[in-house]
Amino acid sequence: MVREQVSLPPFQVLVDEHWRDVARLARALAGAVDGDDVAQRAWEKAFAAYPKLTSAKNLRSWLLTITARCATDLHRARRPQTPLEDAPPVTVAGPDAADWPDPDLWKAVNELPERQRFAVTLKYVGDLDHHGVAAALDTTPAASRRLVSDALATLRTKFGEDHE
Determine the average pLDDT of the residues in 17-43.
92
Check which CATH number belongs to the domain holding 67 and give it: 1.10.1740.10
DSSP string covering 89-121, please?
A: PP----S-GGGSS-HHHHHHHHTS-HHHHHHHH
Task: Kindly state whether residues 73 and 13 are assigned to the same domain.
Answer: yes
How many Cβ atoms from other residues are within 10 Å of residue 49's Cβ? 11
Is 100 within the bounds of a domain? yes
Determine the average pLDDT of the residues in 62-66.
94
pLDDT category of residue 7 using cuts at 50, 70 and 90: confident
Is the predicted pLDDT of residue 112 greater than 50, yes or no? yes
Look at residue 80 in the predicted model and tell me its pLDDT. Answer: 61
Look at residue 92 in the predicted model and tell me its pLDDT. Answer: 45
Number of domains the chain is built from: 2
Task: Tell me how far apart the alpha carbons of residues 101 and 147 are, in angstroms, rounded to a whole number.
Answer: 23
Is 28 within the bounds of a domain? yes
Q: What are phi and psi for residue 90, nearest 5 degrees?
A: -90, 130
DSSP 130: H
DSSP 87: P
Look at residue 124 in the predicted model and tell me its pLDDT. Answer: 87
SS3 (DSSP) at 95: coil
Task: Kindly state whether residues 107 and 74 are assigned to the same domain.
Answer: no
Task: Kindly state whether residues 20 and 70 are assigned to the same domain.
Answer: yes
Look at residue 23 in the predicted model and tell me its pLDDT. Answer: 93
Is 88 within the bounds of a domain? no
Q: Are 75 and 47 in contact (CB under 8 A)?
A: no
Determine the average pLDDT of the residues in 6-35.
91
Is 91 within the bounds of a domain? no
Task: Kindly state whether residues 47 and 101 are assigned to the same domain.
Answer: no
Look at residue 87 in the predicted model and tell me its pLDDT. Answer: 52
Task: Tell me how far apart the alpha carbons of residues 86 and 109 are, in angstroms, rounded to a whole number.
Answer: 28
DSSP 3: P
DSSP 51: G
* pLDDT tens digit sequence for 134-161: 888 888 999 999 999 999 999 889 887 6
Q: What are phi and psi for residue 25, nearest 5 degrees?
A: -65, -40
Amino acid at 155: L
Helix axes 141-159, 103-110, angle to 10 degrees: 130
Task: Specify the pTM.
Answer: 0.65
* pLDDT tens digit sequence for 74-108: 878 776 655 555 555 544 455 555 556 677 887 88
Check which CATH number belongs to the domain holding 138 and give it: 1.10.10.10
Amino acid at 92: V
